[in-house]
Amino acid sequence: MSSIASINNPTGTRISQERVLVLDFGSQYSQLIARRVREQNVYCEIVRHDISPERIREHSARGLILSGGPSSVYESGSPQCDPGIFELGIPVLGICYGMQLACDALGGEVRNTPSREYGRARCRIKSPNELFDGLPEETDVWMSHGDQVAQVSSNFIPLAETDTCPIAAVRHCDLPVFGLQFHPEVTHTDLGKQVLRNFLVRICECNGTWKLGDFANETIESIRQQVGSSRVICGLSGGVDSSVVAALLYKAIGSQLTCILVDNGLLRQNEAETVIEEFTNHFETDLHVVDAEEIFLERLAGIEDPQEKRTLIGHAFIDCFQAEAAKVEDARFLAQGTLYPDVIESGAAPDGPAATIKTHHNVGGLPDELGFHLIEPLRDLFKDEVRQLGLELGLPEELVWRHPFPGPGLAVRCLGAVSKDRLETLRHADNIVVSEIKNAGLYQKTSQAFAVLLPVQSVGVMGDARTYENAAVIRCVDTDDFMTADWSRLPYDLLAKISTRIINEVKGVNRVGYDISTKPPATIEWE
């Protein structure tokens, strides 16, 4: 069989008719901009800041959005766009750095100013225009800039101002070029969604034809054509991404799908049983379950270094998966749950941002020697879109809304040496954390919640006896994109109940802490 080759998910006519491109200049909000556009049912992709006008034409873009960024447009080496994009006749919306770049390229001047704006500001609309249609004369916006447009050429019309930024929004007189100094994509800008909608509907003349139901139907038909009569293997992990991939494939090819679940002994409580029930009873797939607990624990014995743990687990998974996959006849394709942020952050998108933010284990697939063609049907979707798609495909809410789980499983939440006993202790504590947060009605309001077992013992007293046992930590965070995160402000009564239950019910734990670290500087996971 041939080596792994990526099969890009076709976008179909509905997407190509209405496509908006976000040119990424290094903003932390670039993905958020794309998500906000898609919320208006307009398909959106993030591309390199220096994409050529020719490539933009090939994309058949209805509109361009220039993102913010940390640089100054007047600095040597700052990211620039091809000025030819302003001559395409395609509407352009510059946001923060993007506005400064557009104004600078078209005859304006950008300067650093001592009156910097970070946070909320009162924006006053000075000139009626389609970008601010339906907005009041004053509205709260979110500013985050040190530079600003000091003056514009006679070809620009200032549209809005704040107390310290006299040119907070602009439009070009002759070209369909608009600029906003504030960030309409963040929730702190009260009517930001309306501003973006005005740009998409009134200026780009989009009709909002991007629907996940259409995406599912088009993808299902595409998979049928690509696969033919061959068999597809899909690795299940218990997470939402792999589950949605499997459900989508089942709709497309039914009995030609074989799922493999490697039960490595590092899963959450009842996770393997839940996956087995869902994909044997509900979807009736050909499910292979590999009981590999002994293999993984043997390789992890005595290993404490986090990176070494991850490496050993990765190799063990490949060995187990490869051995099981070899038993499946006529299998030519391998499916996995790569998402759009994975593609963007790994630098794997053809026109994606140039910098590789991080390497993802599921971008590029398993090693080439496995000899499969790779299918990544979710590689154009964000996490929230994947969850919505899962519901449309009939997956249960409990599975669709399950919090993310690291690839190495509980091994990176069991700090220090990993053993069966320590994993059982952690699994029990983790189940208490999750179940109590669910009972409090806060599970879908938090982004990720779990327990961590520390290799630290402390003195305690239970009854009349002195104890010297383990410490556990509760970790619960809120985030939109998992690139930054804040610790969840759980009610004290809830934390007290979780702590009491863990200490009373989990053998070997006599102390519980709550992690109040943000990301950055901390990470969500402890290892």
By annotation, the residues acting in catalysis are: 96, 183, 185
User: What is the three-class DSSP state of 480?
Assistant: coil
User: Do 38 and 15 meet the contact criterion of CB atoms below 8 Å apart?
Assistant: no
Q: Give residue 89's region: left, alpha or beta (phi > 0; psi -120 to 50).
A: left
Q: Determine the Cα angle at 423 with ends 412 and 415, to 5°.
A: 35
| DSSP structure class, residue 490 | -
- Do the Cβ atoms of 15 and 208 come closer than 8 Å? no
> How would you class 32 by CB atoms within 10 Å of its CB: exposed for 0-12, middle for 13-18, buried for 19 or more?
buried
Contacts of 226 (CB under 8 A, 6+ apart): 7, 333, 375
Angle subtended at Cα 108 by Cα 106 and Cα 110, rounded to the nearest 5 degrees: 125
CB 408 within 8 A of CB 307: no
In terms of Cα–Cα distance, which of 328, 338, 348 is closest to 1?
328
Distance CA 475, CA 409 (A): 15
The three-class DSSP label of residue 254 is: helix
Residue type, position 367, single letter: P
Those residues whose C-beta lies under 8 Å from the C-beta of residue 409, and which sit 6 or more positions away, are 264, 266, 267, 268, 313
Pull the structure tokens for residue 124: 């006053």
Angle at which helices 383-392 and 240-253 cross, to 10°: 40
Residue type, 199: F
- Residue 151 and residue 166: Cα distance in Å, rounded? 9
The DSSP 8-state label assigned to residue 439 in this structure reads: H
d(Cα 309, Cα 407) in Å, to the nearest integer?
A: 11
> DSSP secondary-structure letter at 9?
P
Q: Are 256 and 227 in contact (CB under 8 A)?
A: yes
- Tokens 């780009």 map to which residue? 204
